[in-house]
Structure 1
């Protein structure tokens, strides 16, 4: 009996891990989180490039995985990936990279995102899995 419980628990844990990884925005149209993690220096929940400008860093991220939309303003660069966005800001002569939920990022930077869809409008559908339902 105990071994059957262990097997069921292991199968359940594996399924949960698979589901979480499938929703992690590192798919074909999501933020390239693993590439950013492997390419830039981690600093808490952000990443740093000490020597490269925000425009060059955002171009490199976009080149690695095409964003749905791009914008800039206030010295910052913005990349939209479905329900997430990447903000690249000037930081001590280099760049600071942040990944956040699209709604939060839009709220923080909406003055620079004039052509991007407002996530609080009735017509906004995100852009992630199941968009347009």
Structure 2
């Protein structure tokens, strides 16, 4: 009887560990923004902004997308946009290079919606995000 309880407890602890690690991800999961890679590749500007002083927004966006495929891409006003679940990456021209910003999808959509005509409106009833549990 005690061994059954021990096994159940061990299985429950393992499941809790897996669920907590999945929920506490910094967005570097298989479909999230490659934050660690961006941090390691580009120059930190201010918390959620990074710089590439030599490359165009198109080139930087392509590099990020090549590292981890975005769910959707768009462009407009000289900027490039990459959608990753509940987050988005905006790559803007900046002093002859590029500025990379990572932000919540809702905030990014509100700021740049004129360039995101085919992307789902996060304020609509049908929007489900893009993270774990999408479509539930």
Sort the TM-score into its range (normalised by shorter chain). 0.7 to 0.9
Cα distance in structure 1, aligned partners of 2:97 and 2:3: 54
For 1:72-130, what per-residue CA distance to the aligned partner results, in whole angstroms no more than 9, with x for missing partners?
Answer: 00000000000000000000000000000000000000000000000000110001011
Higher mean C-alpha deviation, range 1-10 or range 39-48: 1-10
| TM value normalised by structure 2 | 0.82
Cα distance in structure 2, aligned partners of 1:15 and 1:41: 38
- Specify the alignment match of 1:27 in structure 2: 29
Q: Is the CA contact (8 Å cut-off) linking 2:48 and 2:103 kept in structure 1?
A: no
Aligned-residue CA RMSD (Å) = 4.2
Report the CA distance between 1:24 and its aligned residue: 5.5
| TM value normalised by structure 1 | 0.83
Verify: 1:6 aligned to 2:11, yes or no. Answer: no
Higher mean C-alpha deviation, range 37-46 or range 99-108: 37-46
Q: Please tell me whether Structure 1 or Structure 2 has the larger radius of gyration of its CA atoms.
A: 2
- Specify the alignment match of 1:85 in structure 2: 88
Higher mean C-alpha deviation, range 22-31 or range 79-88: 22-31
- Give structure 1 stretches of 5+ with no counterpart: none
Report the CA distance between 1:23 and its aligned residue: 3.7
Structure 1 segments of 4 or more deviating over 2 A? Answer: 1-25
Counterpart among 49, 60, 63 of residue 60 in structure 1? 63
Report the CA distance between 1:9 and its aligned residue: 18
